[in-house]
Amino acid sequence: MLEVMLGTALRARGLEAHVHSAGVWEPGHPASPHSVSEAGDRGLDLAGHRSRVIDPDLVEAADLVLGLAREHVREVAGLVPAAFPRTFTIKELVRRGRALGPRRPEQPLDQWLATVGDGRQAATYLRPDPDDDVADPIGGTRGQYARTAVELEDLSVALAGLLAAPSITPLSLDFGAPTSP
């Protein structure tokens, strides 16, 4: 769901973004029926989605890597250690971005991420934290998926607002978003 929600929110703010979803499970699985339904309720299409596994090439090509949980940040940092400064959970990035303020006009994304990420320690990601982790509804009820969808939609809109500095030329972004299938 994050892939389509974030892509939609970024495009609505004038950002040319290529948002890709990848996870740590096996590839080729369709989105869960509840994910498809929740996305569909918002006018978004997940019917053709197939899971893929995150790999070093995808991480290295991404300007920003987002996870839904700290374990995803750990996976990415273990796969490509140099990617840690541009790898966050979406909740963490939105929280830190709100505290810092949105990206300034003409400010490069990597510079904003470095400022937002100042003081982060890799050891922090060794344990889960509800302040950083989005609940994974996999195998759950439609209500659980609905709650996650609302949270992801709100986070996507918030992040798009933080990234889309006012009066800025559209920026092309490539996101890798490790998620569960």
Instruction: For the chain, 181 residues long, give each residue's pLDDT as a single digit of tens.
Output: 999 999 999 999 988 888 988 887 778 788 888 988 888 899 998 888 888 889 999 999 999 999 999 999 999 999 999 999 999 999 999 999 999 999 998 899 999 999 999 999 999 999 989 999 999 888 899 999 999 999 999 999 999 999 987 644 444 444 555 554 4
Is 88:115 a contact under the CB 8 Å cutoff? no
Structure-block tokens of residue 122: 């890799």
Segments making up each domain of the chain, as ranges: 2-167+174-178
Round to whole Å and give the CA distance between 42 and 115.
33
Burial class of residue 174 (count of CB atoms within 10 Å of its CB; 0-12, 13-18, 19+): middle
Distance CA 125, CA 160 (A): 24
Q: Would you say domain 2-167+174-178 falls under CATH 3.40.50.2300?
A: yes
First-to-last alpha carbon distance for the chain, in angstroms, is 10
Q: Give the pLDDT confidence score for residue 23 in this predicted structure.
A: 81
Nearest 10 degrees: Cα torsion 25, 181, 56, 173: -170
pTM for the complete prediction? Answer: 0.87
Give pLDDT, residue 181: 40
CB distance 168 to 65 below 8 Å: no
